[in-house]
Each structure stands twice: as C-alpha cells, then as structure tokens.
Chains A and B, each alone.
Chain A
Amino acid sequence: MQDAKNLKEYRKEIRESLDNDFLRTAMDNFAVAYRGSRANAFKDMDEKALIREIADAKDAAASRLDELFAQFKEEAEKRGAVVHLAKDAKEANEIIGRIAMDENCKTIVKSKSMTAEETLLNHHLEDDLNLKVVETDLGEWIIQMRKEGPSHMVMPAIHLSRHQVSDLFSDVTGQKQGDDVQALVKVARRELRQEFVDADMGISGGNFAIAETGSIGLVTNEGNARLVTTLPRVHVALMGLDKLTPKLHDALRVLKALPRNATGQAITSYVTWITGSNECAAAEDDRKKVHFVFLDNGRRALAKDPVFSQVHRCVRCGACANVCPVYRMVGGHKMGHIYIGAIGLILTYFYHGTEKAKNLVQNCINCGACKEICAGGIDLPGLIKDIQARILEEEGHPMYSSFLAKMMKNRKLFHKFLRIAKTAQKPMKGKDGFMRHLPMIFMPDHDFRALPTVAEVPFRDMWAKVQPAKVAAPKHKVALFSGCVQDFVYPEQSVATVESMRNKDVNLEFPMDQSCCGLPLQMMGEVTAARDVAIQNMEAFEDTDCDYILTMCASCASHLKHNYMKMLGKDPQYATRVQEFADKVIDYSSFMNDVLGVEKEDFLDSAGDAVTYHAPCHLCRGLDVKAAPRELMAKAGLDYKESAEEEVCCGFGGTYSVKFPKISEQLLAKKVNNAKESGAKVLLTDCPGCVMQIRGGAKKQGADLEVKHIAEYMAERRK
C-alpha cells in the first residue's frame, strides 16, 4: 500500500526497504533464478509470435467489452449462474456482501483474487458485515494474518522469511512452530482444510471469462481455487471486465504464456474451467449458487483510450516486477499501491487515482526490461512516462522541471548554460576530470559516484579541426549526433568515433543546430518541450545530405529512433519527415560492425586487453542491438570477459539518478562488483551516460576498473 504524501516521504519509505537485508537477498536470488527458468520455459516456442497474438486478441476483446459482457451474461445465466456488473469497487463489494446476506453465509473462504485486493473486499466483508473471511492461498493467508497487502502478484508473501512465518503460525495455532518450510506448509494445509469444511461461501477471482459459453478459468498451483469453488454452497467470482474474451481459444493461448512468464512453469498444477452452476451436495437442491461479478472501476473508459487501452492486455503474470531492477531493490509494498511492478504503477493511476500514483509513477528508471518480457507486449515504460506527463498537467509542473524545459528547448541558451557551468565549476574541479566535491544541496545522498567536469572545449568547437577531409566518392554519408554529454562532457568519445572510421570512405558531417535529444525532458514528463526539441533536431539534420544519423549514445539513439516517431508521427506536418529521420538513426556499434563492416585486419595484431562489457538498456532492449558490440570487441582483438547480469541497468537513468539516488547507488554498486568479478580491468559500453555512472562509481569505490566508451578502444586499436 502506498501512503506517502510526497516524494520526500516516499524516498524515506524506499530507504527502509533498501535497509531490509532479507528482502534484498530474497529478491536478488529470485531475479537471477527467474531469468533462467523463464528462458528455459520458452525455449521451444516462438515467444515473440505468441506475445503478438495475445496482444492482438486482447486488443480486439478490449474494443468490444460491452458486447462480450452482454454475451457472457446471457450464456452464463442460461447455465444457472447469476452475472453482475459493478461500476466501482464500492459497488462490487456491496453486491458480494448482499449475496452473502441473502444466502445467509457466515464464513467465507477465498482463493487469491487481485481484483478483490483492488476493491479491498475483505475490509467490507469483515469490518462492515462482520463475516469471517479466510484467504486460502498460502501466501495470501500469511499476509492476511499479518494485515498486509500482497507484495507480488503471483507470490504475495515473497517479502517474508520463514522465521516470520513460523512466528505467525505459532500465534495462530497456539503451538510452537519450527522453521522448516515443508512442515509449515503442512500446518497450513491442515489448518486451512478445517476452514474449507466450515465455509458457506467461496470467493475466487477469474483469470479468463469466456463469453461464448459464460465460463471462467482459474489458474492455481496449490489447488485451493478448486476447493473454494467446490466445497461451499455459494461461489462468487470477482473479475475485472478486462478478463472477458470471446472464445476458449483465447484463454488457452494466454495460458501458454501466463505461467511461463510468471514463474517459468510450462503450466500451473491446476487450471479449472467452470461453466454454470455445478453439482454441490452442500446446497439445498444439490446445485451450487454461482455469481459472477464483473468490475468496471474505469476499465470501460480505459478500453476507449487510444493510448492506454493496451493496459487491458495485462494477464497479471507479474513478470514486469520479476525483471524490474527497482522492484528488486525495494519490493512490492514500495513499488505499487495494490498492483505492483511496472503495470502496478500504471494501474494505480487508473484504479486508485492520481494521489496514490503521483510518487510511484516517478520510480521507473526506464530500462525497458519489463517491456521486453511482457506477455501482452505492453509498452510499460512508455505508458508510465505518459502518465507522468498527465499528472504534471493535472498537478502543475514543479519549478525545476519547468525551468529545465524552458532552458533546454532553447538550444543557444542551453549551450550557453553549459559553457557557463564550465567556468562556474572551477572551484570544485579536480585534476582528474572529476568534480572534487558537489554543491551542498546535493549532499549527501548523491555522493555515491564521482561526477565529471564539463570539458574545456566542447566537441562542436573542435569539429573544424578534427573533421576528416571530404571523400570524393564516399561509401557512406554520415551525420553525427553527439548528444549533450558527448558534446560538452566527453568530447573525446566523439573524437574517437571520428578516428575509428578513418580511411573507410565515410563522409562525416556535424550539424551545428543540433541540441540535446530531449530524452531528459521526456523522462520528467515535459512533453511539449520534448516535442519542440525533437522538431529542432529533425530540422537540423534535414539540411544535411546523409544516409545515416550516427549517435554514440544508446539513449539518444533509441529516443531519436522510436520516441520521435511517437511524438510526431501522427502529425501530418511531420509524419513523413520524422519517419525519414528515424530510419537514418543508427548506433555506433551497429554502424561499425554491420554497415561499415570493419574486420579483424583493420585492427592491431597485438593481443588486446581483457575487457568486460555493460549493455546499455537503450541499446540491448531499446534498439535490440546485442551482437554488434561483442563482435566488434572480438574483431579488435580484445579478450572479452562476460560480466554477470550484463544487460541489467547500471542505475543511471539520467534524471532518475538525481531523483532516486539511493536506488541508483545500489544498482551501480552491483554493476561495478559484477564487472570486477569478471576479472577484466576495463569495462566498455555504448553510452556516455553509462560511462558517467559506472566510471564515477568505480572511482568512488576505489575499484581497479577503467571505464570507456567502446569507440575509444576501437580508435586506439585501429591500424
């Protein structure tokens, strides 16, 4: 549950989680194990094709929710069930409470339902109606007794240790319990069996609601959903309208992805398909009373939203949390209100409102790990940014954000500021290219990494001197996009890029009107300024005769290629132009390896250093470039040693690291440790932001690790 009133309180909560060693270790172990088991579960399948099919089918279903609901209702009622539609959480709870009263039910057993968590159903049944409600999913039972909410959609009690569970069970049974997990599970089996025997009503969720036959499908491992839907004389299933699907086939298709994505299982132990009112010996006439309650709570409106309707593709597998580096640090209670993880940040806004979402939604580092594995192919990081922008519109822009937006959309002003910064930093500047200390306002949370100083001479001022002579018949016409960091902080990376393609028949240009790519603005939710900057950059390159727009920054590349299209692609004034622009954008490693096709012969024959690599999020996922940098390192004669978790975010995230320094610090510490453990003394990467972060972290830690842009090594190793 998220109760922080402001970002400051939220940061404090986060810090408490970061100090929880058990949580941290449990999450680390899980994150690493999950990646392996998921990959194994999908190894014989065309995963991408399956995800595409699910996305298409879910989109089609979302576009006709009302129709599917009407059909479901008719078919289910034909078969003896009663179907309800609740406009919001309160109404859903009241409907279920009324059923309990009408049927004279005193005790209720529940099988895990996220929708019931969303509506806080238990509170209503227990506090307002004085009914006894027992959760029967082991994890849910545990957190119910601890009066907590789930911290993961599939593993609700993942944040607790066996010792905490043992203490809890000792209290509940009045008998001292040990720490053995198997024994604790047996205690739960026995204790809960008694609850099943006593219950009058069973409440479940529903993973699928099949309109054609009015059937529901339930996915469980423990088997409690089968007991909940069989033993009591009344069964109520509470589901979101987004669970509606036209045919059984749709459900079977989702079932292929859901358990694989959730826990790396090919299928869960039990999948239960219920149609209509079945036989029930405990009921008066041997037929169970069955009620299906559908919850709207904003879902119908959401389904009509052109941008956000894709949220309904979510199958509640929890995988976006499983791979989220931030969730891994802080756990579900700090990474969601009721729904957790990346989808949780989005659903919190729609189901629980701006107040609950406004702090949470800023806690996405935009690494794209969730988008890559989402079973419904939802653009989770993109939508989170869109919500951030919406909240800014609703609540007003904070001063720093408006200030940066104003400054950055004026290139001349922005560059002037950077030039002033060069002078202003003088008192704090060390001899080693790092700031000696930071201005007091940033202390002490930001002291985990050394920060670079602004370069004496920006790349744009060097261009006249370093630009190569024009080639008469060039093989490739390339315009460089330096990004602000490689222009004003690390101009040597841009120089190395020029040098690394020497004698390769490349004509290079550097359009002077280019500015920051605009990603920081988008990260802050400043959409108008981000759009203005995009237009400016597009126009700066339109005057250049080039086939490629080459950038050595993975983040810039991914932003120029994908987000410019998103921002301008639908505007007829810019649609064609931005498409042409985006098509030309390419990252350094892909250009060198795939387009220019440098070969082993281009590099020195001597043996190169042992190096390790950090895959920038916006390269390996944002642009799906995985092989090119590794092939380049091999061609250049470098001894590449893979680091653990090479594709996990380094914690930079641009403005994110300023907003959440404690999380950034932890991600960075892991990254540096993994690099050190590889045995290499040099780490290469494809993004100046990652260089800044990892180099600064290594320096602070006093690690024996040199951090460079891959272009620098390619230039050094050229014959």
Chain B
Amino acid sequence: MTAKAESVKLFTDKAELVSAVVTEISSLDEAYKYTMDLCGKKEACKMLISGCEQNLSNTAEQLCATKTGKTIVAPALAKKEAAALEKQCEENGFTLIKDSVRNHLGGIDIAFTRVDHGIAETGTVVLNCPNEELRLATMISEVHVAVLPKSKLVDNSYDLESWMEGNMMKGDYTAFITGASRTADIERVLAIGVHGPLELHILLLEG
C-alpha cells in the first residue's frame, strides 16, 4: 500500500469504529447524489426519531412544529456548487436552506459541508468554521455529510499544528468532529445524537 492508501485505510477504520459511514467518491456530483439518496430514504424528523415523537413538554413540542418537509443546509459552498446542489434538491422536492440557520433550530435533516482536513489516527474530520452558519449547520442537523478530499488527510493531529496556529492568529472557531454526537450518561448505555448529528457520513473525494 502507498502511504496515502494506508492513511485512507486507517482513517476509514477509525471513523467506522465510532459509527461514521465512510464512502469513497470520485466527484462532487457523486456527493450530491449520495446526499439526495440519503435524504430521500430519511423520513423527515421521524426515521431518526430525534425526539419529536417522544412525550415532550409543551414548549419543547412547539419547536417540533417549526419543521415542515425535508430540509438540507449547505452553507459556505462555492456559488457553482451551491447551484448544482440546489438544482438536485428541487428535483427531489427537498428545501435547500441557504441562510439564517438559526431560524431552523427545530431541526434540519442534512448538513452538507466540505471539511478542511481529516486526521487518520482518530478518524476525525476537521472543520474550520468561524462562519456561524456553517458551524451551526453541523450542530443542529440530524445527519452531517462531510466531503473530505483525500489530499487533506494527515496522519495525526500534530500535523495540523501550523495550519491551526495560522488560523488562531486571527479569530477562529475550529471543530474536530469524530463520529456522531454521543452520550453514555444514563447507566453508561451508549446513546447517539444527544445534541448534535445522529449520523456522520464522510465522503472521501479522490484528489
């Protein structure tokens, strides 16, 4: 195996250990298609049962009512990419949220993002997100689809030091994301999706 193939393998193994779904793709078009399929299969706010069907207090119940139809959010995409994604959303009958993610705190089905780096040692994706819309999208969506170019894969976190320090010299918000949101706070039983996404899909893009 080449060094790169080894990194890809290690990254994939480690990410899958924490229940991330890793798929290799060769173009962004594949990524859009993957996202559409995922959204199509997902019954909005129900299949992943992120809480709306539970016995909730009246105030929490109200938040559920703010969500209608299937929604995808994809902030911080280049114009051309956003347009391509929007076209596909229209064809499939999904709503693409373009801004004010804050107005959708009741939940969004899928966040589609391009992430900056991947760390093979731990199967982590790294998202530089001083942009609030981007940051928020990856927190409140039920599924996070992250496109990671293979060339952006590093062996371990130390390899990202100078890049991170460069960002930190300005103001910055960077997230290491490894698998889905999880908790074991009740009887140490692993439960997924306590605050953040219930699923993390990583699309490893060739090149």
Inter-chain contact B165/A190, CB cutoff 8 Å: no
Inter-chain contact B187/A252, CB cutoff 8 Å: no
Residue from the list A79, A165, A173, A223 in contact with B194, Cβ < 8 A: A223
Shortest CB-to-CB span from A182 to chain B, Å, is: 5
A142 to B184 Cα, complex, angstroms: 13
Say yes or no for A105: interface residue by CB 8 A criterion.
no
A83 to B120 Cα, complex, angstroms: 35
Say yes or no for B2: interface residue by CB 8 A criterion.
no
Inter-chain contact B187/A26, CB cutoff 8 Å: yes
B197 contacts which chain A residues (CB < 8 A)?
Answer: 223
Say yes or no for A657: interface residue by CB 8 A criterion.
no
With A212-B165, A221-B182 known as contacts, the answer to whether A274 contacts B173 (CB < 8 A) is yes
What 1/0 mask marks residues of chain A from 257 to 287 whose CB sits below 8 Å from any chain B CB?
Answer: 0000001011111111111111111100000
Inter-chain contact B186/A190, CB cutoff 8 Å: no
A222 to B106 Cα, complex, angstroms: 17
Inter-chain contact A186/B54, CB cutoff 8 Å: yes
Say yes or no for A332: interface residue by CB 8 A criterion.
no
Shortest CB-to-CB span from A167 to chain B, Å, is: 13
Grouping DSSP codes into helix (H, G, I), strand (E, B) and loop, the A interface class, with mixed when no group exceeds half, is mixed
A165 contacts which chain B residues (CB < 8 A)?
Answer: 186
A189 to B54 Cα, complex, angstroms: 10
Inter-chain contact B102/A281, CB cutoff 8 Å: yes
B59 contacts which chain A residues (CB < 8 A)?
Answer: 194
B40 contacts which chain A residues (CB < 8 A)?
Answer: none
Shortest CB-to-CB span from A287 to chain B, Å, is: 9
Say yes or no for B23: interface residue by CB 8 A criterion.
no
Partner-contacting stretch, out of A152-160, A417-425, A506-514, A561-569: A152-160
A165 to B188 Cα, complex, angstroms: 13
Inter-chain contact A276/B187, CB cutoff 8 Å: no
Inter-chain contact A267/B124, CB cutoff 8 Å: yes
A157 to B185 Cα, complex, angstroms: 6
Say yes or no for B196: interface residue by CB 8 A criterion.
yes
Inter-chain contact B177/A187, CB cutoff 8 Å: no
A176 contacts which chain B residues (CB < 8 A)?
Answer: 55
A212 to B168 Cα, complex, angstroms: 9
Shortest CB-to-CB span from A162 to chain B, Å, is: 5
Partner-contacting stretch, out of A46-54, A96-104, A132-140, A630-638: A132-140
Inter-chain contact A136/B195, CB cutoff 8 Å: yes
Q: Which residue on chain B has the smallest CB distance to residue A225? A: B195
What 1/0 mask marks residues of chain A from 171 to 212 whose CB sits below 8 Å from any chain B CB?
Answer: 011111100011111111111111011000000000000101
Say yes or no for A388: interface residue by CB 8 A criterion.
no
A269 to B184 Cα, complex, angstroms: 12
Shortest CB-to-CB span from A258 to chain B, Å, is: 12
B132 contacts which chain A residues (CB < 8 A)?
Answer: 230, 278-281
What 1/0 mask marks residues of chain A from 71 to 89 whose CB sits below 8 Å from any chain B CB?
Answer: 0000000011000000000
Say yes or no for A248: interface residue by CB 8 A criterion.
yes
Residue from the list B18, B130, B173, B195 in contact with A192, Cβ < 8 A: B195
A176 to B164 Cα, complex, angstroms: 47
A267 to B178 Cα, complex, angstroms: 7
Inter-chain contact A181/B175, CB cutoff 8 Å: no
Say yes or no for A442: interface residue by CB 8 A criterion.
no
Say yes or no for B154: interface residue by CB 8 A criterion.
no
Shortest CB-to-CB span from A165 to chain B, Å, is: 5
Residue from the list B58, B168, B180 in contact with A273, Cβ < 8 A: B168
Say yes or no for A224: interface residue by CB 8 A criterion.
yes
Residue from the list B121, B168, B180 in contact with A213, Cβ < 8 A: B168
- Residues of B at under 8 Å CB distance from A? 14, 17-18, 49-52, 54-60, 62-64, 100, 102, 105-107, 121-124, 130-132, 135-136, 139-140, 157-158, 161, 164-165, 167-189, 191, 193-197
